[in-house]
Amino acid sequence: MTIRTTARRRATALLSLVVACITLAACGSSNSAGADPTGKPTATGVKKGLTVYFIPKDTQNPYEVLADAGGKKALRELGGKVVVSSGTADTAAAQIPSIQAAIQAHADAIVIAGNDPSALCPSLNQASAAGIKIVSFDSDISCGTSPNHLFINQADTKVIGTSEVDLLAKEIHSTGQIAILSAAASATNQNAWIGYMKQELAKYPNMKLVSTVYGNDDPATSLTVLQGLLSAYPNLKGIISPTTVGISTAAQYLSSHKDVAAKVTLTGLGLPSQMKSYVHDGTVKSFELWNPSNLGYLAGYAAASLASGSASLQAGSTFKAGTLGSYKVLGPAAGIGPSVVLGPPTVFDAANVDRFDF
Amino acid sequence: MTAQATAPALPTERFARGAALLRARELGIAIAVLLVFAATTISNHAFANAHSIQQLLTGASLIALLGVGETMVVVTRNVDLSVGSVVGLSAYVVGDVFKHHSGFPVLLGYVLGIAIGAAVGAVNGAITTVTRVPSLVVTLAMLYVVRGVDGVVVDGRTIDPGAIPKSYTEVGYRTFLGVPWLALIVAVVVAAAGYAMRSFRASRDLYAIGSNPEAAALAGIPAGRRVFSAFVISGALAGLAGSLFLALHAQVDVTGGNGYELTVVSAVVVGGVAIFGGSGTVLGAALGALLLNTINQALVAAKISSFWNEAVAGGLLLAAIAFDRWLGLRVARSLQSVQGAHRDA
Amino acid sequence: MTPDLTTKPAARTVLRGGEGGGQPLRRALLRWESALVLVLVAVIVFGSVHSSTFLDGTNFFYIGLNMGEIAIMALPLTLIVMTGEMDLSVASMLGLSGAVMGSLFHDGWSVWAAMAAALVVGAAGGALNGLLVAKMGLPSIAVTIGTLTLFRGLAEVVLAPRTVTGFPISLTKIGVVPVQGTQIAWSALIFLVLAVVFGVVLHATPLGRSITAIGLQPEAARFSGIRVDRITFGLYVVSGVFCAFAGILFTLKNSSVSYDAGTGLELNVVAIVLLGGVSVFGGRGTVAGVVLAVAIVGCLQQALTQMGVKPEVQNIVTGGLLLISVVVPNGGAAVRRMRDRLRRAG
């Protein structure tokens, strides 16, 4: 640390500059060229050359990656392009720079999966003021009417909650203690679904929800709380895990502890690719999900239609979503603004689980 | 604690007393684990069964394993913050190899994981010892770099359970005489490392470097080489932990091992390893990991809201550090009285 | 940071410490800060070459908006690191103060009262750190890892699973509009004002000289009559209050708060302080360096995001920059050591 002469100091300074420049140059390879949406409307009423920013919860979540791929497919079909931008952590702060980048690139629409229901509203308001259409998917934002936005709902929120309870009830003959293994305590989606699960449980007087635990969508934490759960409630009959990380972690534990699996039934929301082997070895009988890729595809079409003015946020407005057919905008209800529902969730079991590639 | 030119009289007596207190320290953590267990059992009788105990051991094993390597680094007055990122990288790379080469030998999966970890450890060690930059800064930077490399490698994919051979994942759940394999593996590592840290000259040097770097240098200890080795071992164990992470969870994506670094440092500190080097044992660190995990599971089992997990863990950590300080003062006082008695005689 | 250039060499008056210590400030500035200026220029050139909007006023506003809270937390941390200690609990304190403010506001408190309570919590949390480090003599890294977990845990207990919104628009507009007539974000303006204050305190007051002295040689500082414990304690309280203040700004900027606000930011704050040239052993560093580091990281992140560089790669760049920033200044010494050793061996 003893650098004695000024010359050496200068050399050091110069060296750090050179190294920094090399570092910078190394990542300067990817270049963005903003395309102007000058195209004319196509047959579906959607302009060509649209730029849609997809801002997932983070860039690595497998579920979000599938959804982004669906969005890219949609915009490819429409002659536009998708830019995927987000952070590595599931925080609102990590998404804000991506919204700013969309504004600066004069994007036509933003499709966002909110890491926080409200923290993104100020930034999205700026985007909306700049003429960018806002679409939310996967996890809705609640900004009231500013900015007004369209929520692409994976399935009717209520149906997701109630159908999971019904699935479990069928398997455990509507009796026994059950528990929920959720994602983070602040997860908007999961909290909404759990609300409907509790309502639905009123129909099954012999099923008792004894605990809700949070695995933070992290396999290690999910495993810890699952194990605590099993210790706390030795008579537990069923577990609902409305998150892909939770259900696959629980399935791995049960499939390796057959004596526990014999007593406890597991269901929830899972990716067929991850759950396949557990369905075939009998650990899990059935679970459900929608196709995340279709969700992104629908969001892509919705964003492009809004940006082209061929669809609006008015209830009853319709737009075409490529191979998925035609969709209608639903009016605000039950805490969500204008929305479009992808469709009922698919139930997977041994008979069909191999037919899906997500 | 090795006798040096500067050490006061009666090094053996001093060492014996110190060792007795350290043992008391480990005993103390073990008793704390039992107390938490007992208290939870009182509030929920179902907690005391073989399954629970197996789960407590399995759940603590990865952090305990990382704690062994971290202890070796911390006693030299350094720290390794890159372990969590290494776990993630090695778990994914090993999984990816299994995914694309179905016949890949299971044992080589562990070798590969260890090799990845050792390589990162070597980079940490080399930069720290050659440039003499504080390891806190070096490994903080490596935390970012390795996590970034992991992200580029993973690129949004996941390793699914179907891709990994059964013979690999069974390490994560098989038991021997009721003890989970994972816990046995960690126990073997802890025993071997514990023995080495007590018996071998090179490992005793680690303590000397940490308790008094100048004296260690005067005594002719090759500090650079020793510290480098400690980083390589810490990295290698983190790589092994990554391989075991894959075996335990049978799946991994980019989040594997996220945030482990702080949990490990917590476990090590709770386990009585002094953060400024010179004292502490790998057994203590492993017990520290067991205590943290026992508390986490106990909160769920005792039906206390899991929102309390972090607050309790933080409070416990502070209590452990304060307790260490108190213990340290007592050792110092008892040493003074021993010296005084000797002078009087 | 012109005041720094004109102040007297700070460290000369105190007992000289270990290697590198006690260098006149002007020369220190020549060494590290000038390198940072060059890097900053390189980043700005790089950004404007790759993005046509990089030099826009809006972009300037965004950078300020994104960096403001992190930058504010970096200032008290600079002083703490100057004394040779560490505070890893900064981002958790940001989260806890936001959680307290949100929870009280939700319970019907006025927003001003809730903000005051958050600041009190910040002072209390800082005092806890200070008590454990300064009065009980516990290692600050271990203590603040403990309070990192504790504060975040308390935030969870106070607020989870709720997200509180509905703060008055007159306040939350700081997240949307710049200071009137300029393109400076409010949090950035506050940071710049505070940076001048911290710079003057560190480089031009007896207190600042005491802080430097403590970092160079705590024992010597103690013997020369500096009240080491009291100063260290005070710095942690200051850190707690400013992190709580950053938590308030963060909450208002996002016009919402949940318990996990700002999770993981501690590493960014530490990285900025170290990149700014503050020695982790204490005794060496300038506020000007930290201000430059804030600008470099802010510009770099903005440029990379605009270019669509993956965030994973941004992680590598951040880590790489931090490594370079510590390795390069020590590289010369390391080479010389190796040469000496070879010569001796040969």
Structural domain includes residue A37: no
How far is CA B335 from each of CA A322, B5, B82, rounded to the nearest angstrom?
A: 81, 18, 37
Structural domain includes residue A354: no
- Which residue in chain A is spatially nearest to C39 when comparing CA positions? A17
DSSP H or E run through A67: helix A62-77
Whether residue B345 is predicted with pLDDT greater than 90 in this model: the reply is: no
Mind listing the pLDDT tens digit for each residue in A40-85? 445 568 899 999 999 999 888 888 999 999 999 999 999 999 999 9
Question: What CA–CA distance (Å, rounded) separates A71 from A77?
Answer: 10
Mind listing the pLDDT tens digit for each residue in B69-99? 999 999 999 999 999 999 999 999 999 999 9
pLDDT of residue C12: 32
- Which residue in chain B is spatially nearest to C281 when comparing CA positions? B134
B partners (3+ CB pairs within 8 A) are A, C
Which residues on chain C are in Cβ contact (under 8 Å) with A23?
Answer: 317, 320-321, 324
Question: What CA–CA distance (Å, rounded) separates B234 from B241?
Answer: 10
Structural domain includes residue A44: no
This prediction's pTM:
0.85
Mind listing the pLDDT tens digit for each residue in B267-312? 998 898 988 888 899 999 999 999 989 988 888 888 787 788 789 8
pLDDT of residue B334: 78
Q: CB C323 to CB B269 under 8 A?
A: no
- Within 10 angstroms of residue B331's Cβ, the number of other Cβ atoms is 17
The predicted model gives B193-215 an average pLDDT of 93
Beta strands in B31-189 (DSSP E): 175-176, 179-180
Shared-domain flag, residues A151 and A161: no
Unique residue bearing structure tokens 């940076």: C195
The average confidence (pLDDT) of chain B is: 87
Which residues on chain B are in Cβ contact (under 8 Å) with A220?
Answer: 62, 245, 249
Lowest mean pLDDT among B4-18, B205-219, B282-296: B4-18
Percent with pLDDT over 90 in chain A: 63
Which residues on chain C are in Cβ contact (under 8 Å) with A17?
Answer: 35, 38-39, 42
Shared-domain flag, residues A329 and A181: no
Structural domain includes residue A32: no
Whether residue A14 is predicted with pLDDT greater than 60 in this model: the reply is: no
**CA distance, residue C328 to nearest chain B CA (Å):** 9
Mind listing the pLDDT tens digit for each residue in B233-247? 999 999 999 999 999
- State whether residue B274 is helix, strand or coil: coil
Shared-domain flag, residues A162 and A259: yes
pLDDT of residue C19: 38
Whether residue A120 is predicted with pLDDT greater than 50 in this model: the reply is: yes
Shared-domain flag, residues A132 and A219: no
**CA distance, residue A95 to nearest chain C CA (Å):** 10
Structural domain includes residue A39: no
Question: Domain range spanning residue A151?
Answer: 51-155+292-343
DSSP H or E run through B321: helix B309-344
- Which residue in chain C is spatially nearest to A129 when comparing CA positions? C176
Q: CB A2 to CB C264 under 8 A?
A: no
Shared-domain flag, residues A167 and A83: no
- B24, two tokens: 């008391």
Q: CB C139 to CB B142 under 8 A?
A: no
Shared-domain flag, residues A303 and A253: no
How many domains are there within chain A?
2
Round to the nearest angstrom and report the end-to-end CA distance of chain A: 55
Percent with pLDDT over 90 in chain B: 55
Structural domain includes residue A258: yes
pLDDT of residue A184: 84
Q: Which of C52, C172, C309 is the mutation pick for testing A, counting most A CBs within 10 A?
A: C309
DSSP annotation string for B199-222: H-HHHHHHHHHHH-HHHHHHTT--
Whether residue B41 is predicted with pLDDT greater than 50 in this model: the reply is: yes
Highest mean pLDDT: which of C160-174, C282-296, C317-331?
Answer: C282-296
How far is CA B305 from each of CA A179, A195, A292, B310, C177, rounded to the nearest angstrom?
A: 14, 18, 32, 11, 40
Percent with pLDDT over 70 in chain C: 91
Shared-domain flag, residues A226 and A275: yes
Lowest mean pLDDT among B19-28, B112-121, C252-261: B19-28
Which residues on chain B are in Cβ contact (under 8 Å) with A61?
Answer: 156, 253
A91 touches chain B (CB under 8 A): no
- State whether residue C261 is helix, strand or coil: coil
Residues 6+ apart with CB under 8 A from B329: none
Residues 6+ apart with CB under 8 A from A82: A51, A52, A53, A54, A68, A71, A72, A74, A75, A300
Which residues on chain A are in Cβ contact (under 8 Å) with B248?
Answer: 223
Architecture of domain B15-335 in this structure: Orthogonal Bundle (1.10)
User: Residue C27 is which amino acid?
Assistant: R
Chain A neighbours among C 180-239 (CB < 8 Å)? none
Which own/partner contact pairs does C41-46 have at CB distance under 8 Å and 24+ positions apart? Answer: C42/A17, C42/A20, C42/A21, C42/A24, C43/A20, C43/A24, C43/C296, C43/C299, C43/C300, C43/C303, C44/C299, C46/A21, C46/A24, C46/A28, C46/C303
Which residues on chain C are in Cβ contact (under 8 Å) with A59?
Answer: 310-312
- The yes/no answer to whether this complex scores an ipTM above 0.85 is no
Which residues on chain C are in Cβ contact (under 8 Å) with A221?
Answer: none
Whether residue A24 is predicted with pLDDT greater than 70 in this model: the reply is: no
Q: Which of C260, C323, C324, C325 is the mutation pick for testing B, counting most B CBs within 10 A?
A: C323
Question: What CA–CA distance (Å, rounded) separates A64 from C49?
Answer: 32
The average confidence (pLDDT) of chain A is: 86
Whether cis (ω within 30° of 0) applies to the bond prior to C161 is yes
Lowest mean pLDDT among B301-310, C133-142, C186-195, C307-316: B301-310
* pLDDT level of residue B44 (50, 70, 90 thresholds): confident
Please, how many CA atoms are within 13 Å of residue C34, restricted to the half-sphere of its CB? 16
Beta strands in chain C (DSSP E): 163-165, 256-258
Shared-domain flag, residues A148 and A224: no
Q: CB A224 to CB B52 under 8 A?
A: no
Mind listing the pLDDT tens digit for each residue in B153-181? 998 888 988 889 999 999 998 999 989 99
pLDDT of residue C179: 92
Shared-domain flag, residues A186 and A281: yes
Which residues on chain B are in Cβ contact (under 8 Å) with C310?
Answer: 151-152
pLDDT of residue A174: 94
DSSP H or E run through A137: strand A133-137
* pLDDT level of residue C27 (50, 70, 90 thresholds): low
Chain A neighbours among C 85-144 (CB < 8 Å)? none
Question: What CA–CA distance (Å, rounded) separates A192 from C141?
Answer: 40
Whether residue C32 is predicted with pLDDT greater than 90 in this model: the reply is: no
Contact yes or no for B121/B236 (Cβ under 8 A): yes
CATH number at residue A58: 3.40.50.2300
pLDDT of residue A39: 44
A partners (3+ CB pairs within 8 A) are B, C
Measured at the CA of A93, the angle between CA A89 and CA A95, to 5 degrees, comes to 70
Shared-domain flag, residues A296 and A272: no
Of C173, C237, C178, C187, nearest in space to C72 by CA: C187
Residue B300, classified by CB atoms within 10 Å of its CB into exposed (0-12), middle (13-18) or buried (19+), is buried
User: Residue C327 is which amino acid?
Assistant: V
- Which residue in chain B is spatially nearest to C312 when comparing CA positions? B148
Highest mean pLDDT: which of B251-260, C37-46, C49-58?
Answer: C37-46
Shared-domain flag, residues A221 and A267: yes
Which residues on chain C are in Cβ contact (under 8 Å) with B141?
Answer: 271, 319-320, 322-323, 326
Percent with pLDDT over 70 in chain A: 88
B59 touches chain A (CB under 8 A): yes
The predicted model gives C171-187 an average pLDDT of 89
Q: CB C321 to CB A125 under 8 A?
A: no
Structural domain includes residue A8: no
Which residues on chain B are in Cβ contact (under 8 Å) with C274?
Answer: 137, 140
Chain A with chain C: Cβ pairs closer than 8 A: 171
Mind listing the pLDDT tens digit for each residue in C70-121? 999 999 999 999 999 999 999 999 999 999 999 999 999 999 999 999 999 9
User: Residue B304 is which amino acid?
Assistant: I
Q: CB C328 to CB A8 under 8 A?
A: no
Lowest mean pLDDT among A3-12, A64-73, A124-133, C262-271: A3-12
**CA distance, residue A98 to nearest chain C CA (Å):** 7
The predicted model gives A283-310 an average pLDDT of 95
pLDDT of residue A196: 95
The average confidence (pLDDT) of chain C is: 87
pLDDT of residue B340: 58
Structural domain includes residue A246: yes
* pLDDT level of residue C61 (50, 70, 90 thresholds): very high
Residues 6+ apart with CB under 8 A from C257: A119, C98, C99, C101, C102, C159, C163, C164, C250, C251
Shared-domain flag, residues A198 and A259: yes
CA B167 to centroid of chain Cα atoms = 26
Q: Which candidate from B148, B274, B309 shows the least CB-CB separation from C316?
A: B148
